[in-house]
């Protein structure tokens, strides 16, 4: 029998939070006693195994491998359905440790990494082995890689190509290859006229966005708009104060969505998903695999959306936005599928 992935991971997160201070204390104490960080592996159903430690000859230098025996690593009780690895790492400019939590749910392995060193942090669960590409392609209605440098941006799986209005630019520094760049002062946007949202069916519209530096005087920035003719019926929008996201469809909003870091900062690529759940009549939004925020019941009329615009028509003092790897699916995608597209913040090209 399959279990609910999101609920299971949320329960594990509660346990990890309970024992996280124990892990911090262990590493701090071990460093004081041994001049190096601890490295070991523990599983939820067996005793910990011998691990390896890494120690720098000089604490200011990067570590070198050195075997360290372990008799026990009693941090997580065996009632928690996840495994833990404490791994010491080194890069060209940094060294430290990372805690890697792992859980297998419905045959898919999920991992989360947390650290207190000088390396980067991945605070969200991500799927390690999955058939998500097949299920996503089966549900995909359109995919725009935004890899073109000018003109039409092509739909890689169908014919819902995006028309270029007012010469949308590009950058070579997208999440995957090139990305489209929209200058709001020039009313730059991409659009398609098609009944992509008809028949009151589920949908998810998701992709990557990057905002140039903002100031307190900047207005909110629209990422995409859903229209009937020239009348706006829905939108995904970044709010400058307090730096979060909202998705509006007709007269309802799902708002205040933030990533696990707590704020949607400019000058960083973010992954956003906006969806409509026809069975429950709700819309929702999430950022960077953060928690989904949903609205109250939405009344969806299939005759009220006939075009999609990326970028925003000028209303005054918006910030420049970059967009990359956008897809439309005819369902509410799962956490496993979101994780596959997010790909530990590296993104994927689906075609």
Of 51-60, 238-247, 279-288, 300-309, minimum mean pLDDT range: 51-60
Give the whole-angstrom CA distance, residue 154 versus residue 165. 14
pLDDT digits (tens, 9 = 90+) for 39-82: 766 655 443 333 333 444 444 443 433 333 333 455 566 666 77
- Ranked by mean pLDDT, the top range of 137-151, 218-232, 264-278 is 137-151
Share of the chain above pLDDT 70, in %: 78
277-285 average pLDDT score:
90
- Kindly indicate the confidence band of residue 229, based on its pLDDT and cuts at 50, 70 and 90: confident
pLDDT over threshold 80, residue 123: no
Supply φ then ψ for residue 184, to 5 degrees: -65, -25
- Three-state secondary structure of 52-83: EEEECCCCCCCCEEEEECCCCCCCCCCCCCCE
- Kindly indicate the confidence band of residue 170, based on its pLDDT and cuts at 50, 70 and 90: very high
> Any idea which fold 133-345 has?
Jelly Rolls (2.60.120)
Of 17-26, 133-142, 260-269, 308-317, minimum mean pLDDT range: 308-317
Domain ranges of the chain: 5-127, 133-345
What pLDDT, on the 0 to 100 scale, is given for residue 56?
Answer: 40
- Ranked by mean pLDDT, the top range of 15-19, 51-55, 109-113, 158-162 is 158-162
Q: Give me the long-range contacts of 76-81 (CB less than 8 A, separation at least 24).
A: 76/15, 76/19, 76/42, 76/44, 77/19, 78/44, 78/45, 79/44, 80/12, 80/15, 80/16, 80/19, 80/44, 81/8, 81/12, 81/44
What pLDDT, on the 0 to 100 scale, is given for residue 74?
Answer: 52
- Kindly indicate the confidence band of residue 105, based on its pLDDT and cuts at 50, 70 and 90: confident
pLDDT over threshold 70, residue 137: yes
307-321 average pLDDT score:
76
What pLDDT, on the 0 to 100 scale, is given for residue 157?
Answer: 93
């Amino acid at each position: 029998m399959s279990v609910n992935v999101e609920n299971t991971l949320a329960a594990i997160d509660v346990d990890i939070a309970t024992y996280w201070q124990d892990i911090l204390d262990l590493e701090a104490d071990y460093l004081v006693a041994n001049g190096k960080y601890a490295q070991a592996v523990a599983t939820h159903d067996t005793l910990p195994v011998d691990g390896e430690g890494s120690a720098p000859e000089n604490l200011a230098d990067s570590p070198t491998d050195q075997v360290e025996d372990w008799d026990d690593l009693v941090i997580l009780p065996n009632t928690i359905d996840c495994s833990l690895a404490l791994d010491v790492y080194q890069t060209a400019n940094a060294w430290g440790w990372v805690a890697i939590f792992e859980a297998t749910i419905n045959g898919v392995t999920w991992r989360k990494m947390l650290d207190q060193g000088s390396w980067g942090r991945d605070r969200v669960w991500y799927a390690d082995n999955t058939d998500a590409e097949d299920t996503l392609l089966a549900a995909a209605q359109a995919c725009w890689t935004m890899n073109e440098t000018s003109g039409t941006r092509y739909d890689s799986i169908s014919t819902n190509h995006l028309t270029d209005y007012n010469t949308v630019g590009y950058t070579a520094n997208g999440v995957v290859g090139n990305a489209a760049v929209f200058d709001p002062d020039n009313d730059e946007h991409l659009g398609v006229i098609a009944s992509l949202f008809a028949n009151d069916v589920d949908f998810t519209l998701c992709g990557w966005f990057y905002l140039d530096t903002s100031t307190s005087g900047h207005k909110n920035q629209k990422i995409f708009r859903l229209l009937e003719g020239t009348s706006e019926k829905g939108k995904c929008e970044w709010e400058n104060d307090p730096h979060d996201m909202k998705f509006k469809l007709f007269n309802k909003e799902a708002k205040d969505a933030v990533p696990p870091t707590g704020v949607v900062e400019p000058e960083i690529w973010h992954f956003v998903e906006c969806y409509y759940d026809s069975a429950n009549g709700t819309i929702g939004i999430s950022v960077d695999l953060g928690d989904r925020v949903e609205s109250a019941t939405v009344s969806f009329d299939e005759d009220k959306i006939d075009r999609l615009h990326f970028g925003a028509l000028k209303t005054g003092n918006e910030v420049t936005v970059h967009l990359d790897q956008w897809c439309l699916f005819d369902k509410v995608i799962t956490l496993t599928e979101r994780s596959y597209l997010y790909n530990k913040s590296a993104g994927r090209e689906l075609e």
